[in-house]
Amino acid sequence: MGQFVARNQALLTRSSGVLIVAMSAFMIGSLMLQAPWLYQEMCFHPNPGCLGRASPPVAGVAFGLGWTPCIGPVLTSILLVAANADTVWSGAGLLGAYSLGLGVPFLATGPLFGQMTSAMSAMKRHMPRIVLVSSMVLALFGVLLMFNQLSWLTTQISRLLNSLGLDWIVELG
């Protein structure tokens, strides 16, 4: 399989870029289209009392299914970029950064949830802008992948970090 991927890396990279741009369009479309059949929510409300020791995993599955439409396009894009990374460590680093970006806010807000309600409502007011900016960043990465120019972006970011005296960050990778 590795040889197949190596032989077809250019095609896979371009295909990944097309898929990422499509995911970005899907996210932008969610802001504009009124198509409930396309953005349908599936609800699953388990009764934890009757499940005994199985209730935490079932609750986790229910939570995961509920969040799939929210994280699906972003996670898919990151998985595609990670799959096209030069090394396993680069891909693992991307997935690790994504996991931290997803998990740390949950862990940080959990104990402070009562005090965070006003901040969360402020974030909810700005959610369309957050989705728009996120989808535009995804589209940029998709276009860079489509034209095999991700290395150009890496070079530009490296130069910027060096000019800011943050070249030690470049050395981490």
Q: How far apart are CA 166 and CA 157, in angstroms?
A: 11
**Predicted confidence (pLDDT) per residue in 80-126, tens digit:** 888 877 788 888 888 888 888 888 887 877 777 677 677 777 777 88
| Conformation bin of residue 52: beta by default, left when phi > 0, alpha when psi is -120 to 50 | left
The predicted structure's pLDDT at residue 27: 83
**pLDDT of the residue at 111:** 76
How far is the C-alpha of 145 from the C-alpha of 142, rounded, in Å?
5
Per-residue confidence (pLDDT) for residue 80, from 0 to 100 = 80
Question: If you average pLDDT over each of 6-15, 26-35, 74-83, which comes out highest?
Answer: 6-15
Mean pLDDT of the chain: 79
What per-residue confidence (pLDDT) applies to 83?
81
Between 57 and 13, the higher pLDDT residue: 13
Cβ–Cβ under 8 Å, residues 80 and 16: yes
Identify the pLDDT of residue 148.
85
41-70 confidence digits (pLDDT tens): 555 565 666 777 777 777 777 767 666 656
Q: What is the pTM of this model?
A: 0.55
Write down the H helix ranges in 84-126. Answer: 88-109, 117-125
Q: Which residues contact 26 (CB under 8 A, 6 or more apart)?
A: 73
